[in-house]
Amino acid sequence: MFYAKKTLNHIDMDVLTSNLEEIEIQLLLEGIYQYYGFDFRNYARSSLKRRIRKILTAEDLEHISALQDRILHNPDCFKRFLLSVTVNVTSMFRDPSFFLAFRHKVVPLLRTYPYVRLWHAGCSEGQEVYSMAILLQEEGLYDRCRIYATDTNELVLKHAKKAIYPLELMQQYTQLYQQAGGKHSFSEYYTAAYGSAILRSSLKDNIIFSQHNLATDRSFNEFHVIVCRNVLIYFNPTLQKQVHQLFHDSLCMFGILALGKQESLRLSPFQTEYEPIAKSEKIYRRLS
């Protein structure tokens, strides 16, 4: 409900321009959705706005409506938009206490299944997925697992499939791996070459990477485990609810749902459908 009232000269120009920006953002997102099919309309506005402004600066444009023009008429510009608007910051064994809890609380449950399907939604450049693969290998479970790793952003998926990361990150990853309860030496999992660390290829064996958009795509299988960390924080309450519905529909009975450290089921309508398994690590189990 943003409109400039008649008494323009009495209007606080700061408030007015902020409303105009809001309108421009809505138009931009609507245009992108209608033309390219990517739906950012229900992303959390505060952080989305920051990123759009950053893109505006990078594209050297003044107004969001000019950015809209460029994005709609220039697919390369849209690609750049996509890359900077989805936040791909990730790490191996991010929040090691999560992986530790997964090892102790979830792995024993998974041992009772002959076959385990996991879904990493919003897997970014793959570090989280390979961390899980390492954990499952060490627990002797990997052979009967299949991991579906999805993201909306094809560029990060391409990166993820390669499993090559900057060598200088390995020191930090090694520390996190140890804190996560790693059983071996982390250096066993990669080969160093030309400033890069190439992950052991056996880790890739049971991982399938594919594009999937949580905002617009449907459930595509039934899973024993869904891991979706630091993705829902980018969605507004409406979209979060919708995605929780999707997860609920995609989990088998007693399936495990793992969220990010500062995310929770607390405000979702599905709160009563799950029980916490490791509450502070945001690991839940579907009740029925």
Partner 1 sequence: MKPQLIVMGASLGGLIALSQLLQRLGPAFNIPIAIVQHRHRDSKDSVIDFLQRSTSLKVKEVEDQDKITNGWVYLAPANYHLLVEPGYFALSVDEPVSFARPSIDVLFESAAEVYGPATIGIILTGANHDGATGAVALKARGGTVIVQDPATAESAVMPEAVLTRNAADWIMPVPQIAEWLNRFSV
Ligand X SMILES: C[S@@+](CC[C@H](N)C(=O)[O-])C[C@H]1O[C@@H](n2cnc3c(N)ncnc32)[C@H](O)[C@@H]1O
Q: Which residues bind to partner 1, rule: CB under 8 A?
A: 12, 14-15, 18, 44-47, 49-51, 87, 89, 230, 232-234, 236-237, 240, 260-264, 266-267
Kindly state the smallest distance separating residue 157's Cβ from ligand X, in Å: 9
E strands, the chain, are 116-121, 145-151, 164-166, 190-193, 196-199, 207-211, 223-228, 251-259, 274-278, 283-286
HSE (side-chain half, CA atoms, 13 Å) at 56: 18
Contacts of residue 164, Cβ cutoff 8 Å, sequence gap at least 6: 196, 197, 198, 199
Out of partner 1, ligand X, none, what residue 202 binds, judged by CB under 5 to 8 A for its kind, is none
**Partner in contact with 152, chosen from ligand X, partner 1, none, beta carbon below 5 to 8 Å by kind:** ligand X
Q: For residue 229, state whether it binds ligand X (rule: CB under 6 A).
A: yes
> How far, in Å, CA of 79 to CA of 64, rounded?
16
Question: Contact with ligand X (CB under 6 A): which of 213, 219, 236, 242?
Answer: 213
Binding track, positions 73-102, relative to ligand X; x by CB under 6 A: -------------xxxxx---x--------
Chosen from partner 1, ligand X, none, partner binding at 49 (C-beta under 5 to 8 Å by type): partner 1
The amino acid sitting at 55 is: I
**Segment near ligand X (CB under 6 A); pick from 7-15, 63-71, 159-167, 228-236:** 228-236
How many separate helices (H) and strands (E) can be counted in the chain?
A: 10, 10
Which partner in ligand X, partner 1, none is near 131 (CB below 5 to 8 A by kind)?
A: none
Of residues 145 through 164, those in contact with ligand X by CB under 6 A are 151-153, 156
Using the minimum distance from each CB to ligand X, give the nearer residue, 149 or 287. Answer: 149
Q: Helix, strand, or coil here: 207?
A: strand
Distance CA 151, CA 83 (A): 12
Distance of CA 166 to the CA centre of its chain: 21
Sign for the CA dihedral angle at 277, 270, 115, 149 comes to negative
Residues in touch with ligand X (CB under 6 A): 86-90, 94, 122-124, 128, 151-153, 156, 213-215, 229-231, 234, 260
